């Protein structure tokens, strides 16, 4: 993109905090209740009588767990991709759903989100939308999450300059 086209490109800006998404594994308990745990954060759990209460409690537990880790000066691990979870590693569990829980990214400052148009195959776009909906994300949220994970998995990729 030339400098002129960058200067004339119209953008919509809103102030947002960068978000990361931790995977929560929701299981059904023996008594019909639900529990959620976070594979990236051992000891971070929540439980309730309903799925909705479990997800709500899981969000609170995650935020408090990360806050305590920061206060204790502990290193907060990067979130793993959903594909890192294998239910076969947890025999006997009754996994109901994988939920992506949003939290503010540590160390990232508030900056304006920029509206960007992307072009992709319609079939891929339908898959993106279905995956986002299945995990409680927006299309933009899923694409941003995928971009962060790809950049994290490919060190040095952002250091390259286009010729």
At which of 94, 110, 126 does a domain end?
Answer: 110
**How far is residue 57's CA from residue 14's CA, in Å, rounded to a whole number?**
29
Whether residues 73 and 136 share a domain: the answer is no
Supply the angle between the helices 139-153 and 122-134 in degrees, to the nearest 10: 100
Q: What is the mean pLDDT of residues 33-43?
A: 95
- Say if 86 falls within a structural domain: yes
| Predicted structure pTM score | 0.59
Same domain, 31 and 76: yes
CB 105 within 8 A of CB 5: no
Give yes or no: residues 97 and 23 share one domain.
Answer: yes
In a domain, 27, yes or no: yes
Mean pLDDT, rounded, for 105-131: 80
Residue 61, burial from CB neighbour count under 10 angstroms (0-12, 13-18, 19+): buried
Range of the domain at 98: 16-110
Position 9 in a domain: no
pLDDT value for 17: 58
| Statement to judge: residues 120 and 103 lie in one domain | no
The verdict on 50 and 75 lying in the same domain is yes
Average pLDDT, the chain: 80
Supply the CATH number for residue 78's domain: 3.30.160.250
Least confident among 2-6, 20-24, 32-36, 111-115: 2-6
Most confident residue range from 63-77, 81-95, 103-117: 63-77
- Three-class SS state of 100: strand
Sign of dihedral through CA atoms 109, 104, 142, 136?
A: negative
pLDDT tier at 56 (50, 70, 90 boundaries)? Answer: very high
CB-CB neighbours of 82 under 10 Å = 16
Residue 111: pLDDT band with limits 50, 70, 90: low
What's the confidence (pLDDT) of residue 115?
Answer: 83
How many domains does the chain divide into? Answer: 2
Helix (H) / strand (E) containing 15: strand 13-16
Instruction: Provide, rounded to the nearest whole percent, the portion of the chain with pLDDT above 70.
Output: 79
For residues 98 and 118, state if they share a domain: no
50 and 118 in a common domain: no
Assess whether 79 and 31 both reside in one domain.
yes
Higher per-residue confidence, 154 vs 23: 23
Q: Is the pLDDT of residue 143 over 80?
A: yes
Q: What is the mean pLDDT of residues 130-152?
A: 80
Do 150 and 93 lie in one domain? The reply is no
User: Whose CA is closest to 79, among 25, 33, 138, 116?
Assistant: 25
Residue 40 banded pLDDT, cuts 50, 70, 90: very high
Is residue 26 included in any domain, yes or no?
yes
Question: Mean pLDDT over residues 69-82, rounded?
Answer: 88
Q: Determine the average pLDDT of the residues in 120-146.
A: 86
**92 and 127 both lie in a single domain:** no
């Amino acid at each position: 993109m030339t400098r002129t086209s960058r200067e004339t490109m119209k953008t919509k800006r809103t102030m947002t905090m960068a978000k990361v998404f931790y995977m929560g594994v929701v299981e059904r308990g023996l008594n019909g209740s639900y529990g959620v745990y976070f594979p990236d954060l051992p000891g971070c759990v929540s439980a309730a009588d309903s799925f909705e209460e479990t997800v709500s409690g899981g969000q609170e537990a995650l935020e408090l767990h990360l806050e305590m880790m920061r206060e204790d000066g502990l290193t907060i691990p990067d979130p793993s991709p959903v594909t890192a979870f294998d239910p076969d590693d947890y025999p006997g569990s009754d996994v109901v759903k994988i939920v992506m829980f949003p939290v503010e990214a540590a160390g990232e400052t508030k900056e304006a989100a920029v509206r960007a148009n992307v072009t992709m195959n319609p079939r891929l776009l339908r898959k993106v939308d279905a995956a986002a909906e299945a995990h409680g994300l927006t299309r933009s949220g899923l694409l941003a999450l995928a971009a962060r994970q790809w950049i994290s998995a490919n060190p040095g990729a952002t250091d390259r300059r286009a010729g």
